[in-house]
Amino acid sequence: MKTVYDFSVKDRKGVDVSLKEYSGEVILIVNTATQCGFTPQYNELEKLYEQYHSKGLVILDFPCNQFGQQAPGTDDSIHEFCKLNFGTEFPRFKKVKVNGPDASPLFLFLQQQKGFAGWDMEHPIAHILDDMLSKADPDYREKPDIKWNFTKFLVDRNGVVTDRFEPTEKIENIARRVEALL
């Protein structure tokens, strides 16, 4: 059975990193953007990381400029922005594409493992995203592709994808699932 450990990614300096380096840890993989309505989630992610990192959680940050061009800049400028504005300490990787013919193989695998999880319609941005995506593709909910920035995939200590969280998901729900896997 294939796991996330079968993939290598590039760190923000372009060096290959095997995800086997994270074997035995609980991994939260996130596609991010620095100019998105969800960008303040960096604060929540950093708090989650601080709370659980010593127990075995690692968060892997993959900037992505595919959604509204909301991750402009270089890998280094994105890293500096996140450190300066949100104090993030978790690993950040090279900017990736998460959908389409040039998508990262890791993100294609993640989508195959867990399809679209649905919006939390109580979130103020959920209706905007649903309306926008429905107009572009009435069947978008049935497709596993990543819908927007800050989609999160949770991976257990064996490299198996256990959960997908859309950007509207409450951090408390993610924290509960992280705790269960730790």
Active site residues: 36
In Å, how far from its chain's centre is CA 165? Answer: 9
In this structure, are residues 144 and 131 in contact, taking their beta carbons and an 8 Å threshold? no
Question: If 0-12 CB within 10 Å is exposed, 13-18 middle and 19+ buried, where does residue 155 land?
Answer: buried
In this structure, are residues 89 and 46 in contact, taking their beta carbons and an 8 Å threshold? yes
| Cα 164 to Cα 13: distance, rounded to the nearest angstrom | 28
In this structure, are residues 155 and 144 in contact, taking their beta carbons and an 8 Å threshold? no
Helix axes 75-86, 41-52, angle to 10 degrees: 80
Alpha-carbon Rg of the chain, whole angstroms?
15
Q: Token pair 């959920």 is at which residue? A: 126
